[in-house]
Copies of this chain bind each other. A is one copy, B any other.
Amino acid sequence: MNKHEPGGRKLDLRNGRVELSHGSGGRAMARLIGEIFYAAFDNEWLAAGNDQAAFDIPAGRMAMTTDGYVVSPLFFPGGDIGKLAVHGTINDIAMAGARPLHMSASFIVEEGFPLAELKLIAESMGEASRAAGVAIVTGDTKVVERGKADGVFISTSCVGIIPAGLALSGDKARPGDVVLLSGSIGDHGVAVMSKRENLSFDTEVLSDTAALHELVAAMVETAGDAIRLMRDPTRGGVAATLNEIAHQSRVGVRIDEKAIPVAPQVAAACELLGLDPLHVANEGKLLAVVTCEAADALLAAMRAHPLGAQAARIGEIVADEHCFVQMTTAFGGGRIIDWLSGEQLPRIC
């Protein structure tokens, strides 16, 4: 985003639509970037108008991540694609125990997309990034012909600083470790699906989209490197994330269905939609694997934070050469929780 004061006609932000010329590197693009993105993200790095942002960093260890967002519909109860793109990428940094520093955003927009909606999305991103204290310091915009994309796709990247001595990783779970979950599951996926399917419930289910880095900072302060790893159970839900951990660490996981918080309206919606909450995406929750000794203190620290108020101990790591994730059901039986092999919820994030 390196456009400055190009002159020419102003955007019609009420009735206008994105045109191919808005992606061409010319005057129209300069207008689009200036009036929508600079205005919404509003920070000194973007204002410098260079093709890259420059900022000071301390010596140490950095975390870097990227995520693409193609959620459909773009606006859903509790959030929108912009908010998701800010929170999700911050969360991937936070899962390393890192403090997010700055982020970038790349937009791919379909010709004909309403400028008013693009502005809403940009404003939502600006708001989320300011609330999180993580500026969107650089970006890019491309426009493709009508019918060659679906509204808008966003890819965000984020860098962060890992506290000295911390090296969380998916391969560090050990038998005897405890699995903690920061709150109730399934909200995001159900919110998107209910909007997509045009369902309404007595109690509307809102996406749980949230930036988890402050919860994580509190957790790291309490338990430090007694935390083996953290993961946010997004696509594929808690089931996929636990299977990833099991495979990476070459261990088994046992969880207890009764211990896993699911809001009643989410459970009801899942039944209606034929979904298993364990497979449904979350956008403001985390799973932590922690040493047994540090588990109680860490759980207390999580519960003391608003985003971890419903945190629960949901299971433990066991030795298992098959790397199975097994669950004791609410009725006392047992079942294996597998990855889904097919597609449950396309374009959920």
A50-B96, A148-B150 are known contacts. Are A57 and B66 too (CB-CB below 8 A)? no
| Closest chain B CB from A78 CB (angstroms) | 20
Q: Indicate whether A312 reaches chain B with its CB closer than 8 angstroms.
A: no
Contact (Cβ within 8 A) B65 A104: yes
The 0/1 profile, CB within 8 Å of B marked 1, for residues 1-18 of chain A is 011111010000000000
> Which B residues are CB-close (under 8 A) to A61?
54-57
Q: Which residues between 58 and 102 of chain A lie within 8 Å of chain B, taking CB atoms?
A: 58-70, 92-93, 95-96, 98, 102
**Which of B2, B8, B231, B346 contacts A51, CB < 8 Å?**
B231
> Which B residues are CB-close (under 8 A) to A329?
none
Q: Indicate whether A274 reaches chain B with its CB closer than 8 angstroms.
A: no
Contact (Cβ within 8 A) B93 A65: no
| Closest chain B CB from A273 CB (angstroms) | 16
Contact (Cβ within 8 A) A340 B236: no
Among A35-43, A114-122, A135-143, A216-224, the one that faces the other chain is: A135-143
Residue among A19, A30, A69, A153 with the highest chain B CB neighbour number at 10 A: A153
Among A167-175, A199-207, A261-269, A300-308, the one that faces the other chain is: A167-175
> Which B residues are CB-close (under 8 A) to A195?
none
Contact (Cβ within 8 A) A27 B66: no
Contact (Cβ within 8 A) B155 A106: yes
Q: Which residues between 136 and 162 of chain A lie within 8 Å of chain B, taking CB atoms?
A: 137-145, 147-150, 153, 155, 157, 159-160, 162
How many residues does chain A have at the interface if contact means C-beta atoms less than 8 Å apart? 96
Give bound CA distance, A157 to B3, whole Å.
Answer: 19
Residue among A5, A57, A60, A69 with the highest chain B CB neighbour number at 10 A: A57
| Closest chain B CB from A258 CB (angstroms) | 25
Q: Indicate whether A235 reaches chain B with its CB closer than 8 angstroms.
A: yes
Contact (Cβ within 8 A) A65 B48: no
Q: Indicate whether A183 reaches chain B with its CB closer than 8 angstroms.
A: no
Among A124-132, A240-248, A289-297, the one that faces the other chain is: A240-248
Contact (Cβ within 8 A) B155 A6: no
A52-B63, A66-B140 are known contacts. Are A346 and B248 too (CB-CB below 8 A)? no
Contact (Cβ within 8 A) A27 B142: no
| Closest chain B CB from A93 CB (angstroms) | 6
B-binding residues in A (CB < 8 A): 2-6, 8, 19-21, 23-30, 48-70, 92-93, 95-96, 98, 102, 104-108, 137-145, 147-150, 153, 155, 157, 159-160, 162, 167-171, 231-232, 234-237, 240, 243-244, 247-248, 281, 339-347
